[in-house]
Amino acid sequence: MSNRTRTLSAVVVALSMGLVVSTAGATPGGPVRVIKGVDAQFNKLAAIASSGSLVWVANSGNNSVTVLNATTGAVERVLKKKKFGFNGPSKIALDASHVWIANAAGNSVTELDATSGALVRVIKGSSYQLHGTGLVTSNGTNVWISNLHGTQLAELDAGTGNFVRYINGSTHGFSQAWSLASDANHVWVVDSAHNLVAQLDASSGANVGTIKRSRFLNGPLAIADDGTHVWIANVRGGSVVEFDATKPLSTAPVRILKGATYGFDVVTSMVSNGIDVWTTNLGTTAANANTVTEFSATSGRIVKVFAGARYGFAQPDALAIDRAHLWVANLSTSSVTELTLR
């Protein structure tokens, strides 16, 4: 890490309004802060996303979304169910203009302005036929929402919110979507229960490639895509498989990462900034539980496994990244750990 242009360093910031913030020493790899407290109103954190200026945290336990200042970590506002239509907010997708929040219990999607946080619309009703809307992803042009409990995708126009098409899972082999990802050219659907990953054309919805029950998949769950690479984490076997995102998924993988050095163990989320990739590890052993792994996006080499009490990881279950920060949502302590990238 000594020859890298970015390091992880600690910053001590005094936050107002009673927010509880713990900070670590200024050693490389130290967390900036662990954010929790009454004002944040965190409750069963389900998803997290960052625009670089604002961080959005979905609270499935109280049907709200907490908005944090990405620079200071302070609470900007807490958006409540009554006005914004939140009902079991489960996933967040972010593009340059919009924040999309899937309401798993409300059969709807809430769209917010990414700059102001103002409500744009709540998408629901018979014309969309949304039901069991647990997942959402956006590439800025279109939005894809898992529908009918993952048996199909509903595609919307990101600019207008208008319905575009349904994509039936039976056409592509999936019947229980567990994770979604998208870039300018493709949409990726992970069906963990059936050991399957489908790659769709983002413009037409046509199938580009599907792998099922292959030797590369063993309980695929988390997925990350930066437009050049796509990484798929297997819950069983502790591995991450990398594919070339520009080629059909049926093409042989670029590499398979596994082994004790990586510490992959029940990977539930994964993000990439095109330079590195991070995974959350819930863990089945004490050595691997409550950790975050960082590895190189270009070489696959391990960078660091973040472990220890100073990070405040407690069932780390969701990740978000922007140009300056990595954000980790901790499920069991209803807190957010922030790391700064330099």
Question: In this structure, what are the phi and psi dihedrals at residue 276, rounded to the nearest 5 degrees?
Answer: -135, 170
Q: Which domain holds residue 295?
A: 183-307
Low-confidence ranges of the chain (pLDDT < 50): 1-28
Confidence (pLDDT) at 9: 29
Q: What residues form DSSP beta bridges with 142?
A: 157
Say if 212 falls within a structural domain: yes
- Global pTM? 0.89
In a domain, 289, yes or no: yes
Task: Give me the CATH number covering residue 299.
Answer: 2.120.10.30
DSSP per residue, 217-239? -SSEEEEEE-SSEEEEEETTTTE
Paired with 103 in beta bridges are 89, 108
pLDDT score for 342: 61
- In a domain, residue 269? The reply is yes
Q: Does the residue 172 lie in any domain?
A: no
pLDDT at 188: 97
pLDDT reported for residue 267: 95
Q: What is the DSSP letter of 253?
A: P
- Residue 262 · residue 255 · CB < 8 Å: no
Report if residue 6 sits inside a domain.
Answer: no
pLDDT tens digit string along 298-317? 999 999 999 989 999 999 99
Give which of 155, 146, 199, 200 is closest to 176, Cα–Cα: 146
88 lies in some domain: no
147-178, pLDDT tens digit by residue?
877 799 999 999 999 999 999 999 999 999 99
* pLDDT at position 148: 74
Question: How many domains in the chain?
Answer: 1
Residues 329, 206: Cα–Cα separation, whole Å: 34
- Has residue 193 been placed in a domain? yes
Is there a domain that residue 246 lies in? yes
